[in-house]
Each structure stands twice: as structure tokens, then as C-alpha cells.
């Protein structure tokens, strides 16, 4: 069959034959994709909410459009009639593109596996501590593997050139000195990378953890190899080096559980009936969906010169619910006091003495005789 192909190619002009191979290889690749992808997509639609086929299509759709035609062209390359210089150039270009495609395919395979793990450890549940632990490790390991794949691929491409191999052999003699210099120059980055390993496996923070850091309340949005992004409540992003969470103190509200106690402080006059307030507080909680039903306490926690401090303590499933419930209790309690006991709102007393009556302070000097 090869002899028939050779005779057929020799009967055509060189440029026509070469162009025919290029066009034919890409058309064959497109045809293979046109046949296989709709079948896989049909199978994916028939699956449930998570589908391996659907994940495969989402991550491999674009790269397959390049990889299949390139693979077909590489297999037909021996049948082309390029001159020696052009053949070497086209062959080297195809080799580099295939190496890049293989790297992308490996990376996409990691993403497909990551989708499966995300499905297996779904964080959209009420008590998702274990899932957030696993997801934190998945994200860090995925980014580390992608970095290694990119570096190895670039090294393979560069070492495929003869000149690069010669340069590399010459540089081996200076690796020791160069390593020391790079170590000093990149010690901050290496420290962040090692801190990333420590965070991924000891997990002082995890994905979606609620933190108070640098005086800001927010959730962990990204954990990268060298930095962490915290999504602050007002949609700002706080970017911190990853070793910050090893070296400095911060508050983690979801370290062991998302449950949290919310507090509301009320400052009222001494005449207010505390038991009536306590009954109203319980009525408000019992009818509200944000209260988890575990803790509900109202106590007088302090007495000041002009008012007393009343603390309302309630438990919630997470910090977001606690914030909303605190606002609700605060609004409803002050409305209740304003309508039921308006005279018991915090106030300043001024006692006026009748005319002609001397008023002395406790520390005033006694009158002289």
C-alpha cells in the first residue's frame, strides 16, 4: 500500500501533494471529533447532575480540536515531499506542539479527576468540615502538579534543541554556585512554598473558612502556592502571603465547626422589667428560622452609672446566619422597648431642687459657722 501511495504522490506536483496531506489530516481529525463528541455529549446529557462524560467534554473539547488533527498530521508526515530543511522545521514544530498538547491533556485529566473529587466531597452541605479539609488539599496539590508539568514540558522542549543541550552541559559546572545564589534570592518564595505545604496538610485555614484577619471579616476564596485570597464581606479581596497564616495570629471562626454564638447588647434604664424582655426574646427566637434551637440566654451583664447592660446570647448554624439573626433581634427588641416600656429607654436624670434649697455635692466642703 505504501508503494501505491508513493507512486500516487510522485504523479502530483510537490506543493499540491503537501497541501493535500495538510488539509486531509486536519479534515480527518475534524471528522473524528465530529463523530465522537456528539455521541459522548448525548451520553453526558443522559447522566445525572454529575457525569464523567460531561466533565470530559468540558475540559477536553478545545484541546481535542487541536490534538487529533495534529496527531493525524504527524502520522502522515513521512509521506510528505518537503525538502530536507523544511522537513526538519515542520517535524520539530510538530514535535513541540505535540509535547504542549500532551501537557495540556495531562493537566485536563487532573481537572477531570478534581471534578470527581469535588462531587465526592460536596461542600454544599450544612456540616462540611471534612469536605473543606479535602478540598483545601486538592486545590494545593492540583496547582503544584500543574506547575511541575509546565516546568517539565518546557525543559523537554528546550532540551530537544541541540544548542540548548550544549548550553545545559556548560551550565552544569556552575550549578553549585548558581544554586546558592538562587537560594538566597528566592528564600522568601521558597518559604511561602513550604508554608503552603504546611497549610495544605496541617490546615490552620481551609477553603471557605470564615476568618477575621487584619481587622477584616471574610471567607477564604483561594489558597495558591504562595498567597491566599480572602473574600471580604463587602466584596473586596484581601491578598496575603501564605506564610502570614503560619507566623501571625488570626481568628478562624470555622476551625472545628461552623456553629457560632451571636450576641446583642441592650442598654436600658434600671426600671425596665428584665423578665418581660426575656419572654419577648424567647418568642422572637422560637419563631425564627435562623436560630438552631440550642442556646438562648438573656442576662444583665453590667451596671453603669446611667444604664444597665443586658446581653442576649443565641446560637446559629454559621456566622452568616448569626449576623442576620443579631440584626433582627436588635431591631425587634428596641422596637418592643420603645412601644411597651418607653420610659425605660436609657436616659439621663436631672433632679431640680426647690428654690432656696442649697444643693451640695457629696465631696463639697462643709459650711463654715
Q: CATH number, domain at 212?
A: 2.30.30.60
| Burial annotation 286-297 (CB, 10 A radius, 16+ → b, else e) | eebebbbeeebe
Tell me, what CATH number does 287's domain have?
3.30.70.100
152 and 221 housed in the same domain: yes
Determine phi and psi for 196, rounding to 5 degrees. -60, -40
Q: What's the number of domains the chain is made of? A: 3
> Where does residue 248 rank: exposed (0-12), middle (13-18), buried (19+ CB within 10 A)?
exposed
Residue 138 to residue 131: CA distance in whole angstroms: 10
Q: Does pLDDT of 297 surpass 70?
A: yes
Model confidence band, residue 182 (pLDDT cutoffs 50, 70, 90): low
If 0-12 CB within 10 Å is exposed, 13-18 middle and 19+ buried, where does residue 112 land?
middle
Number of neighbours of residue 36 by Cβ within 10 angstroms: 12
Position 63 confidence tier, pLDDT thresholds 50, 70, 90: confident
Select the highest-mean-pLDDT range: 4-18, 58-72, 86-100, 103-117: 103-117
**Could you report the per-residue pLDDT of 113-162, keeping only the tens digit for each?**
888 888 877 766 666 667 777 887 888 888 888 888 888 888 888 777 77
In this predicted structure, the answer to whether residue 1 has a pLDDT above a threshold of 60 is no
Q: Provide, rounded to the nearest whole percent, the portion of the chain with pLDDT above 90.
A: 23
Q: Which domain-ending residue is among 227, 257, 287?
A: 257
Name the domain boundary from 120, 150, 177: 120
Residue where one domain finishes, among candidates 257, 288, 316: 257
Residue 232: give the domain boundaries: 131-257
- pTM of the shown model: 0.55
The answer to whether residues 230 and 273 belong to one domain is no
Task: Grade residue 207 by pLDDT with cuts at 50, 70 and 90.
Answer: confident
Strands (E), the chain: 210-213, 216-223, 227-232, 237-241, 251-252, 260-268, 291-303, 308-316
Amino acid at each position: 500500500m505504501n508503494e501505491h501511495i508513493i507512486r500516487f504522490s510522485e504523479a502530483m506536483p510537490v506543493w499540491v501533494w503537501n497541501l493535500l496531506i495538510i488539509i486531509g489530516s486536519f479534515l480527518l481529525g475534524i471528522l473524528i471529533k465530529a463523530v465522537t463528541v456528539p455521541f459522548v455529549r448525548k451520553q453526558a446529557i443522559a447522566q445525572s447532575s454529575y457525569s464523567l462524560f460531561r466533565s470530559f467534554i468540558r475540559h477536553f473539547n478545545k484541546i481535542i480540536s487541536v490534538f487529533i488533527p495534529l496527531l493525524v498530521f504527524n502520522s502522515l508526515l513521512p509521506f510528505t515531499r518537503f525538502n530536507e530543511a523544511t522537513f526538519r522545521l515542520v517535524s520539530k514544530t510538530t514535535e513541540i506542539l505535540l509535547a504542549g498538547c500532551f501537557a495540556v491533556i495531562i493537566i485536563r485529566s487532573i481537572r477531570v479527576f478534581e471534578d470527581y473529587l469535588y462531587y465526592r466531597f460536596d461542600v454544599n452541605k450544612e456540616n462540611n468540615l471534612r469536605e473543606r479539609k479535602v478540598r483545601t488539599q486538592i486545590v494545593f496539590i492540583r496547582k503544584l502538579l500543574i506547575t511541575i508539568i509546565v516546568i517539565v514540558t518546557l525543559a523537554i522542549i528546550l532540551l530537544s534543541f541541540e544548542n540548548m543541550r550544549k548550553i545545559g552541559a556548560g551550565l552544569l559546572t556552575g550549578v553549585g554556585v548558581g544554586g546558592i545564589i538562587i537560594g538566597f534570592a528566592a528564600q522568601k518564595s521558597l518559604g511561602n512554598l513550604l508554608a503552603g505545604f504546611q497549610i495544605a496538610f496541617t490546615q490552620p485555614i481551609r477553603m471557605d473558612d470564615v476568618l477575621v484577619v487584619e481587622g477584616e471579616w471574610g471567607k477564604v476564596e483561594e489558597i495558591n502556592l504562595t498567597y491566599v485570597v480572602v473574600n471580604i464581606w463587602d466584596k473586596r479581596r484581601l491578598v496575603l502571603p501564605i506564610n502570614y497564616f503560619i507566623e501571625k495570629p488570626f481568628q478562624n471562626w470555622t476551625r472545628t465547626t461552623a456553629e457560632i454564638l451571636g450576641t446583642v447588647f441592650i442598654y436600658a434604664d434600671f426600671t425596665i422589667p428584665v423578665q418581660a424582655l426575656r419572654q419577648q426574646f424567647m418568642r422572637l427566637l422560637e419563631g425564627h428560622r435562623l436560630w438552631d434551637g440550642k442556646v438562648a440566654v438573656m442576662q444583665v451583664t453590667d451596671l453603669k452609672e446611667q444604664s444597665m447592660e443586658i446581653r442576649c446570647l443565641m446560637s446559629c448554624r454559621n456566622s452568616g446566619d448569626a449576623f442576620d439573626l443579631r440584626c433582627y433581634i436588635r431591631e425587634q427588641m428596641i422596637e418592643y422597648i420603645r412601644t411597651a416600656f418607653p420610659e425605660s429607654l436609657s436616659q439621663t436624670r436631672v433632679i431640680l431642687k426647690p428654690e432656696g434649697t442649697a444643693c451640695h455635692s457629696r465631696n463639697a466642703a462643709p459650711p463654715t459657722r
